[in-house]
Chains A and B, each alone.
Chain A
Amino acid sequence: MPEGLLIKGGRVLDPASNLDEICDVFIKEGKVRKIARNINLSYSELIDASDKIVIPGLIDMHVHLREPGREDEETIESGSRAAARGGFTTVCCMPNTDPPIDDPSLVKFIYEQAKNKGAVEILPIATISRRREGKELSPMGRLKKAGAVAFSDDGSWVTNSALMRRALEYVKMLNLPIISHCEDESLSAEGVMNEGYFSTVNGLAGIPREAEEVAIFRDLALAKMTDSSLHLAHVSTANSVRLIRKAKNMGIKVTAEVTPHHLAISDEGVTDFNTNTKVNPPFRGKEDIELLKESLRDNTIDVIATDHAPHTVEEKEKDYEEAPFGIIGLETALSLVLKEVVEKKILSLMQAIAKLTVNPARILGIDRGEIREGVKANITIFDPGKSWLVREEEFLSQSSNSPFLGWKLPGKVEWTIIGGKVVYRSEK
């Protein structure tokens, strides 16, 4: 263990304590020991953070690492490296793997892999139902004991309302959230992009907004009924936002997340049938994006999470109907948030960072997402003045299915630090 890491002269932003100051951060034995100006302690490692911004390590509570089962798309190792490059120090991986994470032994497997090969902290999410079939509850108590931090059948919606009710009731004793992927598949059916003018012009089957909204309404009703904690994954429509706002006003314990890509591209951007625009939920209309951004402001949407979904080139090289849904997001997330939310003055930098740090930490109930004396030193340092070109060869993720290839994005992550150890350093 180094004798001490000093991060000197950066603009330190900690949303939890509302700290925004140019000062130093001193880390020793893996924890933040001191935050002050002109720290005069001996150190073994120095990071000159002048003109950079120092924030708590980012937390992504919605990531697909594809291991076990689809190691051709991504592994815990490659996914965690991608996370580190994106400035994330903690990610929660979704259980729709092969086999799905519905058993304590598999939760332990994730922890083992993460310990041996993971570049960042990885927290497993376990399934709500056995085998993700939506028929029987998975052993949620034991899954929590093995270390699961939340439950989700993500990829699918729990169509059986009775089962969802029982799941919401049951987790009350575990104090862990249920994360719901809201999609009525009878409405989304064969759809491959947002149902609207552009799906009409493209001749592609559409996924109506109502496929999400109908499911959100049901889940909110059940959350109210059970007085349990519900977290809504990848919200994408204006009416979904309105429903969530109303529910929160009624005191329902719901939290919600949005992806950076849903803030950046609308269905008009599905041009030339580029399968890197094929994602579920699909890119919606400009009015939806407006409301999603607005809802970040009044905290109707609490969290920004990437839904990082890697797919191989061969899979995405297929035609638009056959190609799988999903795009990667870990390495472009912070920059997209800076571009779409901070630069466009929807949120201040502090508020935006909160969506990626303290907010998800509180929902997960973990002691992360803050820069505070005594807390594990998970810290990210980025240069707000540097923009960069998104290049396929530079992705650390094993896959490169991103619609942002070729985009110039603001803000470059330069150091990602976990427990005082630098796990990612950008090339100069």
Chain B
Amino acid sequence: MVRLMNEEDMRRALLRLSHQVLEKGVEVADLIIIGIQRRGVPLAKRMSKIIEELKGKKPGTGILDITLYRDDLTQIAYQPVVRSTHIPFSIDNKRVVLIDDVLYTGRTVRAAIDVLIDFGRPQKIELAVLIDRGHRELPIRADYVGKNVPTSSEEMVEVKVKEIDGRDEVLLLKKSEVDI
């Protein structure tokens, strides 16, 4: 087990991502940050807060669950829990930044894009991730990456966040070390 990021690393990465999002020069009024369940949600909330501190205005913030849009439902043995989706405003013509903890095969993001399209017609959808671990199975790329971590398929990347796990860190583990 290797610790890829500690709390301070994560704070800096998120700050840098927020700056990068704002670099595109868009109005905060047209910006929407949407966190992908489960750990993308606290990251989205943190990014929104950072942007509010930087610009004095908070972007629209939503949360999104992809369970109902997954492409691998028939391959799951267990019953996936459906979590909340809450996008209580129009996303039409807005610039939406999806944020998730880890980008891996790209299937989660594919599903998230489908959810967004069912909600409206955003002007642009971008992706921010804390960790990109490679092994894409679909033509999906992140616009903003906290850290690139090459991994093997025997490995797992786990992001822990205070809001859910009680601590902030990013771990690289062998599959055998993972606690489900």
A and B touch in the complex (CB under 8 A): no
| Chain B residues proximal to chain A, CB less than 8 Å | none
